[in-house]
Amino acid sequence: MSDMTLSAPARRPLVLRHPSVLVFLTILALFTLGVTLLSEGAGIGAISTSFVKTLGKTLCFCLVALAMDLVWGYCGILSLGHMAFFGLGGYAVGMWLMYERTRMIVADSLAAAELPPTAQEISDGIATQIFGVVGASEFPPVWAFAHSLPLQLAAVVVVPGLLALVFGWLAFRSRVTGVYLSILTQAMTLALSLYLFQNDSGLRGNNGLSGLQNLPGLDDIPQSAVSLWFFWASALALGVGYLFCAWLVSGKFGSVIRAIRDDETRVRFLGYPVEGFKLVVFTLTAVIASIAGALYYPQAGIINPAEIAPIASIYLAVWVAIGGRGRLYGAVIGAGFVSLLSTWFTGGQAPDLVLGPLRIQWVDWWTVLLGLSFVAVTLFAPKGIGGLVDLAARIKSPDRHGADLGPDAGALREREADQ
Amino acid sequence: MTTLLEVSGVSVSFDGFRAINNLSFQIGEAELRAVIGPNGAGKTTFMDIVTGKTRPDEGRVTYGEKSVSLLSLSESRIAQMGIGRKFQRPTVFEDQSVADNLMMALKKDRNPFAVLMFRPVAADRDRVAELADEIGLSAALHRKAGELSHGQKQWLEIGMLLAQEPRLLLVDEPAAGMTLAEREHTTDLLKEAAKTRAVVVVEHDMEFVRRLDCKVTVLHEGAVLAEGSLDHVTRNEQVIEVYLGR
């Protein structure tokens, strides 16, 4: 080996520099395989289809938590609007699912007529079916592309991306930071949700979109199989998303956004356009959140404006805080753990707790418990559940300040072992 | 000697208080200058104006051969043009390693997408090692900046400034909280830096200023009171009155 390579070792692949990425991807792959083998659709049937859906939805939550961790844990922007982007992704995909399925039903029922139906008749039929509940029978302009899956999929990226770009540009340019920025994002979320609640918003008001679990033209395929498809897609999206985020934060870009979190004025004097960086992170994470939402809602089957309400984004922040922000696996652990626990408590499976005259029914008391744990984590364990990994790592390898690891001098040194 | 930075007739008030009052200042391309003055003389505000943090109410600030006006540029743009600033309190990124801090400061394209695609090559890593050597932090390259002593943080910040390769360095009280040996090292670094660029040092400590051995500008109530060698200005009646009198 020449001196040159000694002084500047070649850069090793990302997964080797950050072993946690490899560990995470392995666990995710094993988990996906395990669930598949135990599912009703492709395995022994130990896991019900509805639980496969719950797990698939949880993976989507993990993905949106990654986005939240990137924007909050790494870049320091406490956004209370990322679940709005999540919802927008769901609406974009939901519109096509609902349109296409209704079109098939309408076409079927009109096929029996003596005269073949005109395009206008079919279109009117679909509109009446979809918008009957809000007393309308015409397609609103936002449905202009609902007939096309590629265009609606493009909307999953473009609509939240543009919204985040415009909103972020206005907010960051005015140097709004900290709690004021959080309030601003929350206001955006609230405004969007209130707008969608109106019947004339064109998205069926508080009814939202429903029947999204039924894929058009695939009526013969049982939900047990469809649920697995979405589960796999969600696992794949989470894996790719995790790799992407790990790549993003591993290099100088990660360095700069963490620096912005810690002291943005100083970063500005280093010559970095802080607003530009924030805008890139905010927009990128909005798109990731939207993709997660686009995978989530076909598994949930229904989306309505309540899902976009600010409380959802606050929950997202709670997940990331409990899991441990500033580390990617922390966000995933937080979202997975808390949302599954929440499903268990609110699903009525948790036994009631009797404390003398007080009977604690978890369906009602779960949010209280969650709130208390959030306060406890913030006060006593700011690193969250992810901090346990640090503890475990320190127990295994005490800091020997570069000294020999073996019994005799000249044994492998700590610094060598680290590499 | 050509002028690198020219500040002329600049004034700025905060809530009616005139922090800077018709201030004019010039510095050449390779020059070391000390700026002294009592508290509230406007030393920090002066730096804020040059670096774009504060916009003056009137006056002109021009920079470089083409005499570009800095008044309409953002802080990051001004920094990119080659004006580096060191704050009074050492501000390094404590959660990141010394190497990461230096790597971030290296003169490179600052555009977010360029930064995203940036991967350090051997030359960049060598430059970081060289800088760490210069500021005496070679052994601490992989330690977190937060673990460093106060003096070491000051040096790291100076190293980050050098990494930016600025043409004009603004240094706010570099010797604060340093031991005697550390002060001497700092003086040497600043003198060395001033051979190839303009360096403005704001300092309270007269002994430190004497060691810099350069032209001195005395600020008082937002305006220049006297300018010249240290001996010259300390003989100035007004300066004596401001510093010792009242």
B182 residue type, one letter: E
Give tens-digit pLDDT for A278-323: 999 999 999 999 999 999 999 999 999 999 999 999 999 999 999 9
Residue for token pair 């609230």: A190
Q: Are A253 and B76 inside 8 Å of each other by CB?
A: no
C-alpha to C-alpha distance for B26 and A263, rounded to whole angstroms: 31
Of A8, A11, A271, the CB nearest to B76: A271
Are residues A272 and B129, on separate chains, in Cβ contact within 8 Å? no
What's chain B look like in SS3? Answer: CCEEEEEEEEEEEECCEEEEEEEEEEEECCCEEEEECCCCCCHHHHHHHHHCCCCCCEEEEEECCCCEECCCCCHHHHHHCCEEEECCCCCCCCCCEHHHHHHHHCCCCCCHHHHHHCCCCHHHHHHHHHHHHHCCCHHHCCCEHHHCCHHHHHHHHHHHHHHCCCCEEEEECCCCCCCHHHHHHHHHHHHHHCCCCEEEEECCCHHHHHHHCCEEEEEECCEEEEEECHHHHHHCHHHHHHHHCC
- Contact residues, chain B to chain A, C-beta under 8 Å: 51, 53, 74-77, 79-80, 84-85, 87, 91, 93-96, 100, 103-105, 110-113, 115-116, 118-120, 122, 125-126, 129, 160, 164
CA B190 – CA B201 distance, rounded (Å): 9
Exposed, middle or buried: residue B53 (CB in 10 Å: 0-12, 13-18, 19+)? middle
Compute the half-sphere exposure of residue A412: CA atoms within 13 Å on the CB side of its CA.
5
The candidate with the shortest Cα–Cα distance to A142, out of A103, A102, A88, is A88
Extended strands (E) in A10-101: none
Position A18 pLDDT exceeds 60: yes
Local structure of A53: helix, strand or coil: helix
Query: Which one, of B5, B20, B24, lies nearest residue B57 by Cα?
Result: B20
Q: Which strand (E) or helix (H) includes residue A353?
A: strand A353-355
Residue A162 tokens, joined: 């543009």
Taking CA atoms, A247 is separated from A14, A66, B55, in Å, by 7, 13, 39
B59 and B10 Cβ atoms separated by less than 8 Å: yes
Q: Nearest CA to CA, how far is B82 from chain A (Å)? A: 9
pLDDT at A7: 38
Q: What is this model's ipTM?
A: 0.88
> Do the chains contact at B93 and A273, CB–CB below 8 Å?
no
Show which residues on chain A lie within 8 Å of chain B, measured between beta carbons. 4, 7-8, 11, 248, 251-253, 255-256, 258-259, 262-263, 265-266, 268-274, 276-277, 279-280
- pLDDT exceeds cutoff 90 at A397: no
Q: Region A196-205: what's the mean pLDDT? A: 89
Euclidean distance between CA atoms A390 and A385, whole angstroms: 10
C-alpha angle A190/A192/A194, rounded to 5°? 65
Query: Hey, are the CB atoms on A7 and B112 less than 8 Å from each other?
Result: no
Token pair listed for B185: 């090292």
Q: Which of chain A's residues have a Cβ under 8 Å away from the Cβ of B164?
A: 270-271
Q: Which residue is associated with the tokens 């790799």?
A: A243
**Both ends of chain B: CA-CA distance in Å?**
39
Question: Tokens at residue A377, please?
Answer: 């984590």
Give yes or no for residue A68 having a pLDDT over 50.
yes
CB environment B87-113: b (16+ within 10 A), e (fewer): beebbbbeebbbbbbbbbbbebebbbe
Coil, strand or helix: which one is A239? helix
Cβ separation B118–A256 shorter than 8 A? no
Question: Residue A117 and residue A230: Cα distance in Å, rounded?
Answer: 35
Block residue for tokens 């543009």: A162
SS3 state at A122: helix
CB contact under 8 A, B111 and A276: yes
Give residue-wise pLDDT tens across range A231-243: 999 999 999 999 9
| Nearest C-alpha neighbor of A71 from the set A204, A182, A145 | A182
A268:B76 CB<8 A: yes
Q: Which residue of B has its CA nearest to A14?
A: B119
Structural domain count of chain B:
1
Q: Locate tokens 């021009």: which residue?
A: B62
Give the mutation candidate from A255, A264, A383, A418 for the B interface (greatest B CB count, under 10 A).
A255
Query: Strand B198-202 vs strand B32-36: parallel, antiparallel, or unpaired?
Result: parallel
Model pLDDT, residue A9:
47
Tell me the C-alpha to C-alpha distance, in Å, between residue A319 and each of A58, A309, A313: 12, 17, 10
Instruction: For residue range A218-277, list pLDDT tens digits in order.
Output: 888 888 999 999 999 999 999 999 999 999 998 899 999 999 999 999 999 999 999 999
- Inspect the interface and report whether the beta carbons of B79 and A280 lie closer than 8 Å: no
Per CB-CB distance under 8 Å, the chain B contacts of A266 are: 87, 91, 93
Apex CA B90: angle with CA B84 and CA B91, to 5°? Answer: 70
- Whether A8 sits inside 8 A of B125 (CB atoms) is yes
Containing structural domain, residue B64 = 3-244
CATH number for the domain spanning B113: value is 3.40.50.300
Which residue of B96, B129, B164 is in closest CB contact with A255?
B96
**What is the identity of the amino acid at A371?**
G
Cβ pair A270:B105 closer than 8 A = yes
Task: Please state the φ and ψ torsions of residue B219, each to the nearest 5 degrees.
Answer: -100, 145
Mean pLDDT, chain B cut into blocks of 10 residues (246 residues total): 87 87 90 88 89 91 90 92 87 91 92 91 92 89 87 88 92 82 86 91 85 90 88 86 68
Average pLDDT over chain A, rounded to an integer: 88
